[in-house]
Amino acid sequence: MAKTNFIDYVKIFCKSGKGGAGSTHLHRTRNIPKGGPDGGNGGKGGSIILKGNKQFWTLLHLKYQKHVFAKNGHPGTGNNKTGANGKNQILEVPLGTVAKNFETGEVIFEITEHNEKKVLLKGGRGGLGNTNFKSSTFQTPRFAQPGEPGMEDWKILELKLLADVGLVGFPNAGKSTLLSVVSAAKPKIADYAFTTLTPNLGIVKYRDFKSFVMADIPGIIEGAAEGKGLGIRFLRHIERNSLLLFMIPADSKNIKKEYEILLNELKKYNPELLDKGRVLAISKSDMLDDELIEETKKELPENVPCVFISSITTMGINKLKDLIWAELNKPEI
């Protein structure tokens, strides 16, 4: 998934179809010159619908589709014939897509299952034909309802990646390197901050043909929840992860303090993130000998499973996989 092709935010203008007008037709034949009303109802306007597709991983296909229009309903006709419904406009989106109101930011709904369909903008109802208004005292109504107008509005579509494990850490903590080692993903790797500008997904193979999905999220800095660095743009992807893997390099000045800063940024963004399972990996541990590792263990935060790893030498990688798998499959209390 190339970084230029990963689009997780689009703004689109949607307009649903208007309903068809009801018919005011009066029945006329050679033998019945003054028949009663037989105007059919109008067809309903087309709706804008989102449909989940598990084959999609990005909103790229909607990036340049700024305007989405559904078809209008057809008017009713004589002989009580209802007009054809307007064609719905169906937009296929990846699982984890959230639809929002552009003006208020209010969440309308989320798409989380394959082939799941939800109406983003409803089409107008068709108008009733004059047949519906006849009665014993009013036998020849010469009026019908117009169709309801369609709706139009700007909508926001945001993607929250669905992954089992989300990597959390400061820039240049080794997250992309780890993902490239444990999966077939090929994220950009370099020795400077903010190498990763878009999320990357990788499938990690485990024992006995098992696997889990890992997401590399662009690095967090202190103040990210207030918009610093890359801000909160990518923090939303962490909301979908079952387990958070915190990564702090072994040469950090204060591992416990960095962990608390990361945890605090998640808390400020969404306190519910603290309810997720956590694992701590001390990256770049190949620079530590056994004595330094024992000293470093004294500085680690409490109540979080921890493992020392090196993506370069593969030190602790299998142990990390075992720990992640155990945490993902831990029975709920």
Other beta carbons within 10 Å of 3: 12
Whether 223 contacts 229, CB under 8 Å: yes
Whether 185 contacts 202, CB under 8 Å: yes
Average pLDDT over residues 274-280: 91
* Domain 165-328 in the same topology as domain 1-159: no
Q: Tens digits of per-residue pLDDT, 116-131?
A: 999 999 999 999 999 9
Average pLDDT over residues 222-249: 68
- Per-domain boundaries in the chain: 1-159, 165-328
**Separation between Cα atoms, residue 69 and residue 47, nearest integer Å:** 9
Going by C-alpha positions, the residue among 187, 183, 175, 190 that lies closest to residue 220 is 175
**Separation between Cα atoms, residue 238 and residue 232, nearest integer Å:** 10
**Separation between Cα atoms, residue 226 and residue 235, nearest integer Å:** 11
Whether 200 contacts 217, CB under 8 Å: no
**Separation between Cα atoms, residue 135 and residue 141, nearest integer Å:** 9
Q: Which fold has domain 165-328?
A: Rossmann fold (3.40.50)
Other beta carbons within 10 Å of 19: 30
Place 1 in a pLDDT band, splitting at 50, 70 and 90: very low
Secondary structure of residue 135 in the 3-state scheme: coil
**What is the structure's pLDDT at 222?**
58
More confident residue, 226 or 22: 22
**Separation between Cα atoms, residue 136 and residue 165, nearest integer Å:** 69
Whether 167 contacts 178, CB under 8 Å: yes
Q: Give the list of residues 6+ apart from residue 62 with CB closer than 8 angstroms, or none.
A: 7, 10, 12, 91, 93, 157
More confident residue, 6 or 136: 136
Q: Tens digits of per-residue pLDDT, 159-216?
A: 877 778 988 888 877 888 888 888 865 644 444 344 445 677 788 888 888 888 888 8
The CATH label, of 2.30.30.100, 1.10.150.120, 2.70.210.12, 3.40.50.20, for the domain at 1-159 is 2.70.210.12
Whether 81 contacts 74, CB under 8 Å: no
Going by C-alpha positions, the residue among 61, 86, 82 that lies closest to residue 73 is 86
pLDDT for residue 326 is more than 60:
yes
